Each structure stands twice: as structure tokens, then as C-alpha cells.
Amino acid sequence: MSKKLHIVKVGGHLVNDETALQEVLAAFAKIDAPKLLVHGGGRHATALAKQLGITPQMVEGRRITDADMLDVAVMSYAGLANKKIVAQLQELGVNAIGLSGADGNCIEAVKRPVKDIDYGFVGDVVVVHADVFSTLAANHFVPVLCAITHNKEGQLLNTNADTIAAQVAIALSNTFDVKLFYCFEHAGVLHDISTPDKVMETLTEAQTHTFVAEGVIHQGMVPKLHNGFDALKNGVNEVIISNINALTNTNAPKTTLQ
């Protein structure tokens, strides 16, 4: 039987709320198994961009990244957000090591081809070098991945953190029994944002297509679910979307992808 590996992606409100982030990291620290954290930080990047006079652009929950916005993303994700998280995990007794995709050449990507939309310096993952993460885990390091990759030609690329979490989970599913947990501020995928207690307990890909067409599921949840189902179809054992409560309580409300 394969060894269990927990991959937790944390983003949205949680990365920018110091109290909420501390609670998530405390719960993450209690996971008694090999683990890996992936974080976003888009809201901080958006705020920093505005402070610098740069207007952020989003299309269907995905960020348009021109050269200036890429600099902001690297500063925000690989710099401030990543190192704050690593420092807090060290305080909690977790031997965390902060990484971008360029570090150890762990995640290679290519600039997204221009079709209907030019996303700029946005990267699509082409290969995850699972041995990097396996080696770190074997030596009791806990990787903390930010949403920056590279093309191995000197170019950094902004890559959706949900995608990174899914692709790393898929790559490591050959070695581990992987549980992928998308942790954000709600208890799961909601029927209506105004009724946060009504969580979709299970969700299939067919149901997702219907809900997207009806406008029930929209914005940043769309790429999250796309990546979650991709992971589930490619070797990942379990994919859950919920909040901090489900990290520590298996009976807490959550959405399980099927």
C-alpha cells in the first residue's frame, strides 16, 4: 500500500487574513503524514499592483500577466507570501522549505499560446519533477510551493496555484496515495453564496458543466474544479474542497469530487 501524501492548496481570503492563515497553518502542521502546501496570493498581488499604478486584468477567474504584473506576482507570491508562510510553519515545528517552480527545476512550464485571449506571461505546466518532492519528503522537509513556474530558458511564469496543486498531485500519485485538499474560506462548493451553510456534499464533472452553464458556479471556482477533476481522473485518490474545519475534522461539511 502506498504511503499517504496530503497536498493542501490554500488561497483566496485565507492567505491575506493573518488570523485565518495562522489557523490554517496550525491545522496543516497537525497532519501526521508527508505533506505539501501550495499557496496563491492573488488578492495581495492585486492590491500591490494597484499601489504601483498597475491595473490588474482577469478573464474567467484567470489573471492576465503582462511584464509589469509578472514582476508584481513574483514579488508577492515567491517573496512576501511564501516566506511568511515558511516562517510561520517553522514556528509550528514544520521544517518547511519555500519553492517556486524554478527551484530545483521542480516544475517546468511553457508560456500559454495566444488563442482567443493573450494571457501574457502565464505558464501552462508541462512537467513536474516528482523526484524533487519525493527527495524532500524522504528528508523530512515540507515543500511550500508558490504560484510561479519557469520555462528553463530563464523566463519566470505566473501559473494558477490550483493548477500547480493538481499537477503536483498527479505527478506524485505514482508514488503516494494522494489526497488533494483545496482549502478556502467557504465550507465547500455552494448552491448560493447567500446561503453558505448549503454545501454541495458531492459534485460530478457533469453536474459542474450544468452549474457553470446556469451561472451557479462561476469565477475562480471554475478553474479550481477543472483542475480538481483533472487530478481525480489522473491518479489522485481523493479531491476535497472545503475550509479549515474539514482539515482537522473528517465530519465537517465539505465538497468531495466524484
Q: What is the pLDDT of residues 155-164, one digit of tens each?
A: 999 999 999 9
Residue range 183-190: mean pLDDT, rounded = 93
Which among 240, 158, 238 has a CA at the least distance from the CA of 201?
A: 240
Tell me which residue has cell 450544468: 210
- In the predicted model, is pLDDT for residue 1 greater than 60? no
Residue range 224-234: mean pLDDT, rounded = 96
Q: What is the pTM of this model?
A: 0.94
Percent of the chain with pLDDT strictly greater than 70:
98
Amino acid 70 reads L
Percent of the chain with pLDDT strictly greater than 90:
79
Go through the chain and tell me how many residues it has: 258
Tell me the β-bridge partners of 181: 8, 240
Determine the pLDDT at residue 190: 94
Question: Phi and psi of 5, rounded to 5°?
Answer: -135, 130
Q: What is the pLDDT of residues 16-61, one digit of tens each?
A: 888 999 999 999 999 999 999 999 887 788 888 899 999 888 876 6
Determine the pLDDT at residue 81: 93
Determine the pLDDT at residue 12: 66
Task: Kindly report the number of other CB atoms within 10 A of residue 136's CB atom.
Answer: 19
Instruction: Report how many domains make up the chain.
Output: 1
CA distances from 172 to 61, 86, 137, 138, 252 (A): 27, 22, 11, 13, 27
CATH number for position 62: 3.40.1160.10
Do 247 and 6 meet the contact criterion of CB atoms below 8 Å apart? no
Residue range(s) defining the domain that contains residue 34: 3-257
Lowest mean pLDDT among 46-55, 109-118, 164-173, 201-210: 46-55
What is the SS3 assignment for the chain?
CCEEEEEEEECCHHHHCHHHHHHHHHHHHCCCCCEEEEECCHHHHHHHHHHCCCCCEEECCEEEECHHHHHHHHHHHHHHHHHHHHHHHHHCCCCEEEECCCHHHCEEEEECCCCCCCCECEEEEEEECHHHHHHHHHCCCEEEECCEEECCCCCEEECCHHHHHHHHHHHHCCCEEEEEEEECCCCCCECCCCCCCCECCEECHHHHHHHHHHCCCCCCHHHHHHHHHHHHHCCCCEEEEECHHHHHCCCCCCEEEC
Confidence of residue 251 (pLDDT cuts 50, 70, 90): very high
Round to whole Å and give the CA distance between 236 and 6.
Answer: 11
- In the predicted model, is pLDDT for residue 116 greater than 80? yes
